[in-house]
Amino acid sequence: MLRTFGFVIVIAVLAFGAVWFAESPGEVSLEWQGWRVDTSFAILFAAVAVIAIIVAFVYRMWMFLRSAPGRMSASRREARRRRGYLALTRGMVAVAAGDAGEAKKQVRRADGLLSDPPITMLLSAQASQLAGDEAAAGKFFSAMLTRPETEFLGIRGLLTHALKGNNRKKARELAERAFRLQPKSDWVASNLLDLQVRGSAWADARDTLERSVKNKLVDANDAKHRLTVLDYLLGLEALGDGNEGEALKILKKACDREPGFIPAVVCMAGHLVDRSRAGRAATLIERAWSHNPHPDLVAVYCRARGADDPLEKVKVCERLAKSNPDHPESHLTIAAAALEAKLWGEARRHLENAVGVDASARVCRLMAELEESEHANAQAAREWLVRASKADPDPAWVCGDCGNAVSEWTALCANCDTFAGFSWITPPHVVRLLEGAKEAAQALSGPDGAPDTNQTAES
Ligand SMILES: [Zn+2]
């Protein structure tokens, strides 16, 4: 609309100009070098306009021809770049598809077309890895370390290589360097922690774990038990160095964070008793008993309470059991002490309570001992021992990752290498599954020869 209006105005102005020139042509006379030109002003104006148009056209043509070589080379460069990136993309696809030959071919093309090493180096390394040429891949990754923009990728490649080759020392150095560059990378942080833990570098591992929590890579609750374990191990390290004061400070942190973590509580309580702080040790153990009643706490509690003879031990065990009175372990502990003190009635009462809650193998064994000691009833004792062999296994330290059950706590699972994976629970009941299979086999083959196992089938 605006353009049409402008066009109409231009036409109007031109028409007005043409009419004005026609009505008042005027006269112009030029003399130059013996030449004389007489014409009207309108003709002169038209001639000047034509000359101006021709000059402008010639100038534009000259500019166009002058810039042509530059434009042609820029378009050639653009085409090369496009072909380079296409080769790079095809190379990445080949790596993903596991086609080493195609990947190498495309890398060579991309390298020639792009002449930008940081871009093609990673692909070159990956193509070499794919072709099984680890030495060449290592060279590419090492070359990447020299440029800030590719340093992390180079470290990552070398770290993966070191982990694959089980070269832990080299892997740890690389992981530390990678962590300095990218502390928020989950992959780097978890690998570094793993390597530090396997290298028994507890202080470094603790630092890495705390920073991972701060960087929100690890949930604070998930990290809690691992921090407790690391504190316990640092406490043991300080004890090993003869620094008992420092050790107790660190162990206290572990016990406060997780009052039911038995290894730390037993260790700290033992050292407190040695330092004549038996009252504090006893309180620490009672608190642990309320969270996680564990048989290892009993001996150190008796030491803390100064119980030497069997009758005193029964009283002390009753006192300890008050922190968690209904737990089977409380009944078992009093029963075991009562058996030792020959308090048969007391032992029977607590064992029967424990049988009611959880007839584990240990309860059955103690019942057998009671029958044997109190009434010399060998038959009843044998029945309890048979029942013990089929009962739920006793609690043990069970690895949450692979189910490996051990009697002594360790930081790393010997079966699957998981760190801080053990908890004190009843292991899965394998015997009962075997029994089920046996019964099924017997049912299939007929009733002959089936032993009497009814008595042990409940619970
Ligand atoms: Zn395990």
Amino acid of residue 285: I
Residue 241 confidence (pLDDT) above 80:
yes
Residue 390 confidence (pLDDT) above 90:
no
Q: Out of 165-179, 302-316, 352-366, which region has the weakest mean confidence (pLDDT)?
A: 352-366
Other CB atoms within a 10 A radius of the CB of residue 402 amount to 14
Q: Out of 72-81, 327-336, 349-358, which region has the weakest mean confidence (pLDDT)?
A: 349-358
pLDDT-derived band of residue 441, with 50, 70 and 90 as boundaries?
A: low
State in Å: Cα 177 to ligand 1 middle: 29
State in Å: Cα 205 to ligand 1 middle: 20
Residue 453 confidence (pLDDT) above 60:
no
Q: Which residues pair with 360 in a beta bridge?
A: 392
Is 0.75 topped by the overall pTM? no
From residue 183, alpha-carbon distances to 158, 176, 189, 210, 439 in Å are: 18, 9, 7, 12, 57
Q: Which among 174, 212, 172 has a CA at the least distance from the CA of 195?
A: 172
Q: Across all residues in the chain, what is the average pLDDT?
A: 87
Write phi, then psi, for 390 (nearest 5 degrees).
-110, -5
State in Å: Cα 292 to ligand 1 middle: 21
State in Å: Cα 397 to ligand 1 middle: 10
State in Å: Cα 194 to ligand 1 middle: 14
